[in-house]
Amino acid sequence: MASLSNIGETLAERLVSAGFTCYDDLASLGSVEVTLKIREGVDPGACYNMLYGYRGCHSPRTLAYIPKEERNQLKKEFDHAAGH
């Protein structure tokens, strides 16, 4: 998992602990769903950084290049799905 773009060691460990073993396990889920699975089953402190990290694995661009509007939209979706 750590070989995916923008996935660091910590997020890779959390993904594996949440039951994701390869990119194919993640491919059908969006950033929000993956981050919520991590939050619910592995790390209740899963945060926006993990959300962005997973979003970044779908692209060769670095996290800094995820447009602010996209980050804000991800935050809104995540907060809504998490019941905030």
Question: pLDDT-derived band of residue 76, with 50, 70 and 90 as boundaries?
Answer: very high
Total count of domains within the chain:
1
Q: Is the C-alpha dihedral spanning 28, 52, 56, 13 positive or negative?
A: negative
The reply to whether 13 falls in a domain is yes
> Which residue range forms the structural domain that includes residue 27?
9-81
pLDDT tens profile 28-43: 888 899 999 999 989 9
Per-residue CA distances from 48 to 3, 22, 24, 36 (Å): 21, 22, 22, 11
Residues 52-72 have a mean pLDDT of 78
The reply to whether 58 falls in a domain is yes
How large is the greatest C-alpha to C-alpha distance in the chain, in angstroms?
A: 32
